[in-house]
Structures are given as C-alpha cells and as structure tokens.
Homo-oligomer: A and B are copies of this chain.
Amino acid sequence: MKVANTIASVRRHIAAARRVGKSIGLVPTMGALHIGHISLIKAARKKTDFVVVSIFVNPTQFGPKEDFKKYPRPIKKDLQICKAGGVALVFNPSVKQMYHSENLTSVNVERITEPLCGRSRPGHFKGVATVCVKLFNIVQADIAFFGQKDAQQAVVIKQMVTDLDMPLKIVVCPTIREPDGLAVSSRNKYLNPKQRKQALCLYQSLQKAKKMVKSGVTDPEKIIKRMQEIIRKAGPSKIDYLEIVDARTLEKVKKIDRKVLIALAVRIGPARLIDNILLDITKS
C-alpha cells in the first residue's frame, strides 16, 4: 500500500495505475475509520481495481463551534485498517496541501442543502461539496463511495456530480450498525456508557417509524410525534431535527406516498448523532 501526502504524488500513482488499465475507486473519509468505512472499502474493491482512501479532516465543513479540533485522528490505526482492507493508495494530505492556493472558489448546491443538517450546520455542505470536487479532481476516480448514514451528503454529492457533469459515478452503501442497531460513527466515541445506551433511541425511533409506515400510517406528523416520544423517554437530549422528506428533493412531505427519507439529528451529551432510513412505499 502506498501513502501519498501531496497532490502531485497522488497524480503520479493514479497515472501509473491508469497506464496499466486499472479502474479507480475512491473512498473519501475524515479518518477515524470504523466498520462503516471498511464496508465502503469492500464495495470499492469489488467494483474497481485500484482503491484510494482519502483521509482528510476538512476544516471548511466544520462550523466555528464544532468539533474540528477534537475530531479523532488515529492515523496509525487508520493506515493499518486500510492495509488490511486491501487499499492501494491512502491520500493523507495536510490542510495546507489541500488549501494550497488562496481558495477563492467554492461549490454551492442550492435548496437540498438547506433543510436537515443544512439548517443546523450553515456552510457545512458548501465545505463538503467543495472538498469533494477537489478530491474528485485530484484522484479522478471512476467511482466514489459514500455511506447512506450521511443521507443528505449523499443526495448533495449526487446532485452536484450530475449538475457539473463530473466524469464519475457515485455509489451509496448501506448504513452499518452496531449489533444493537446504533449507526456506526466516529462521533460515538464521544459518548459515555450511559449516553451510549441512550443513543439507541435514534435507531429505535426509526424502527418504530418503519413499522408504522408498513402498517399503513401515511401522516408524517403522527409518525414524527411517536418518534419524538421515544427519544424523549430515553433520556435528556436535544432534537436538532426530525423530518420526513422526499428522498430526492429533501422537501417535507405532507403524506407518505412516495420514496421518503426519515432523518434525524439528536444531541446526546457531547455528541451530535445522525441517523436515517429510506422507505419506498411504492415498492412495498
């Protein structure tokens, strides 16, 4: 496995892989790799010949009061995970390497960046979209792999790639969960044992929503109320958002009559946790 810290070095490795006809897969990450990332690496290895993992804690997608500084950076462990996973190249640039120029340029995606995480994290998706364009341009992958856990991010990146005619495909892989159902996240580390137990309420509320939809409930408000109850009962928390939206436009639905995304963000202790499910009533 190769490790590149510079853009120039990545380009050389990619050019060499291209010369021998290899297809390129990219798994963009902020490091602190867990089984969620490993599932993305596995998917990338299945679909492409040369898998690149980028490890970059991108400052421009963190708000001024967010956890940029304390975000975990266990680079040694991350490299071990990549090596064990059969990754061909890790791109681990410094902030200075990624933001080498004056950076007057940003990529903005309207509308679908406004609800959900966009509301409580202004500027977040502008940072995400811009760094992804940069990473896509640096690695020039055929396919980039994202997790369904960051549902809005996946919708935003797909829209951006389509709108800008970027020459790559986006594959979204299922959310990976702990045995009890909690969505795996680097931010789960922030939880103490009590909070960890409480955090299960996100998953439980989503499971309840799924059951209600399957039993024929089509009123989003009814479902949201029930989900809120489950979360409040579990312990002290702050619901950032809890919405049922159209899976593509991310606009609130008045009736569950199409493919919907049920998504929520809940602050429990020091952690802001997100989770979601996609439900396609037209297919059940």
Contact = CB atoms under 8 A, between A and B. Distances in A.
Interface of A: 7, 11, 100-112, 129-130, 133-134, 137-138, 140, 159-160, 162-167
Contact of A105 (B7, B100, B104, B164): B164
Contacts of A133: 164
Contacts of A138: 165, 167
Contact of A159 (B104, B130, B164): B104
Contacts of A140: 167
Q: Is the interface of A mostly helix, strand, loop or mixed?
A: mixed
Contact of A109 (B7, B100, B104, B109): B104
A245 B107 CA distance: 27
B164 A137 contact: yes
Contact of A101 (B11, B105, B163): B163
B159 A102 contact: yes
Give the number of times this chain occurs in the complex, counting copies.
2
A163 B104 contact: yes
Contact of A165 (B108, B137, B160, B164): B137
Nearest to A168: B137
A165 B104 contact: no
Contacts of A112: 104
Contacts of A163: 101-105
Contacts of A134: 164-165
Nearest to A162: B101
A167 B129 contact: no
A17 to B, nearest CB: 15
Contacts of A106: 107-108, 110
By Cβ-Cβ distance, the 5 closest A-B pairs, closest first, are: A105-B163, A104-B110, A137-B165, A101-B162, A105-B160
